[in-house]
Structure formats: C-alpha cells, structure tokens
Amino acid sequence: MPQNDGIADRAKDLIAGQFAIDRDRLSESARLFEDLGLDSMDSVELVMALEVEFGGEVPDGNISQIKTVGDVIHAVNIYFTPSDSAA
C-alpha cells in the first residue's frame, strides 16, 4: 500500500513543530537521534504527540523501533487511522 503524502507531510510538520527542527532536514532517511539530535525523552514526547495528532496508540514495545523519519511515517500508517476529513 503506498504511503499517503498527506500523512507524511503531517508527520513531518509535527516533528518540525514539536522539536524546532528545520522542515528541510526531515528526509525519510533522517535518523531521529543521530541526525536530528532527539533523545529518549524526545522519542516519548514524539509518540505522545503522534497519538494526539492521529488518534491512536503505538504499542510500548514498538516505540524503540522508530529510528528515522520514515519509521515515524510508517508507524502512523500502521498504528493510526487518520480521518480523511482531518486537514
């Protein structure tokens, strides 16, 4: 199933806004810790923000598997069911 570009854009906007990161740095291969400077507490905050934004839940055991911006987008596509009406 192809990824929804709208979901990718929303996820990138959330990361950029939550952590004051330039949106241009958010390629799907960008590593959250090494490239973007997030730490383990930031990853928890990111998951909480995703849960609020997209209305779902990432299982605790799977949070550690989210290591890149692409992983964030993939997690949204798997664990959340974004509303088509959300803008």
Tell me, what CATH number does 63's domain have? Answer: 1.10.1200.10
Residue range(s) defining the domain that contains residue 32: 5-79
Please check whether residue 50 lies inside any domain of the structure: yes
pLDDT band at 87 (very low <50, low <70, confident <90, very high): very low
How open is the CA angle 84-60-6, to the nearest 5 degrees?
Answer: 20
DSSP state, residue 29: T
71 tagged catalytic: no
Bridge partners (DSSP) listed for residue 68: 31
86 within a domain of the structure (yes/no): no
Residue at 10 is within a domain: yes
Q: Is residue 84 part of a domain?
A: no
pLDDT at 60: 87
Q: Considering its fold, how many domains does the chain have in total?
A: 1
**CA 77, CA 81: separation in Å to the nearest integer?**
7
Burial class (CB in 10 A: 0-12, 13-18, 19+), 31: middle
Catalytic pick among 39, 42, 60, 84? 39
CB 29 within 8 A of CB 69: yes
Q: 25-78 pLDDT, tens per residue?
A: 999 999 999 999 999 899 999 999 999 999 889 998 888 899 999 999 999 999
Per-residue pLDDT band for 81 (boundaries 50, 70, 90) equals low
Q: What is the pLDDT of residues 15-33, one digit of tens each?
A: 999 999 999 999 999 999 9
What Rg do the C-alpha atoms of the chain give, in angstroms? 12
Instruction: Determine, yes or no, domain membership for 37.
Output: yes
pTM for this entry: 0.84
